[in-house]
Amino acid sequence: MEGEIKAHYIDHISIAVKDLDKAVKEYETYFGWKVAGRYTDPDENLKVAYFQVGPTAYELMEDLDGTGEVAKFIERRGEGIMLVAFNVDSCADALKQLKERGAKMIDEVPRLSKELNRHFGFIHPKSTGGVLAEVIEGKY
C-alpha cells in the first residue's frame, strides 16, 4: 500500500430531503444563495439541485418515487447528510486502492453519471464513520 489516495477537495456533500423545492427555497432564503444547477438521475432514482460553495457543490437530493436509496435513507435516519464525495484523478485507481486497503466497498468498478459525464464509486458507510463516501473524477 503505497502512498495516499490523493483527494483534491471535497467535490460535493449530498443532503437527503423529502421536498426538494421546499429545501431549495429555504437555502435561498436563509443563505441568499442561488441554485447553480439541477438535474434528474433516473439511474440513481433522484432529482438534485445544487449550490456551488467554492469548489464544493452542496447538493439537495429528493427521491423520484419513494423507492430509491434517498427514500430509504430518510426512512432510516431522517433528512440530513447522506454522502461526502472526494474529487480524485482516477476513480478506478482510488476504488482499487481502497479495496486493497480493506475498505468495505459498494462499488469495485466505477459507475458513470450520464447527466454529469463523470465516473464515481461508493465506499460503504461501515468503513467511513457511518457516512456514505464517494470518489469521483472530473469537474462538477
The structure's pTM equals: 0.92
Q: Characterize the bridge pairing of strands 132-137 and 80-88.
A: parallel
Q: Is 21 helix (H, G, I), strand (E, B) or coil?
A: helix
Written as tens digits, the pLDDT of the chain (140 aa) is 567 899 999 999 999 999 999 999 999 999 999 999 999 999 889 999 999 999 999 999 999 999 999 999 999 999 999 999 999 999 999 999 999 999 999 999 999 988 889 999 999 999 999 999 999 999 98
State the DSSP string of 87-131: EES-HHHHHHHHHHTT--BS-SS-EEETTTTEEEEEE-GGGTTTS
Q: How far apart are the first and last CA of the chain?
A: 29
pLDDT tens sequence across 3-32? 789 999 999 999 999 999 999 999 999 999
Exposure of 69 in the CB half-sphere (CA atoms within 13 A): 15
C-alpha–C-alpha distance, residues 140 and 10, integer Å: 11
Q: Is 14 helix (H, G, I), strand (E, B) or coil?
A: strand
All domains of the chain, ordered by start, with CATH?
A: 7-137 (3.10.180.10)
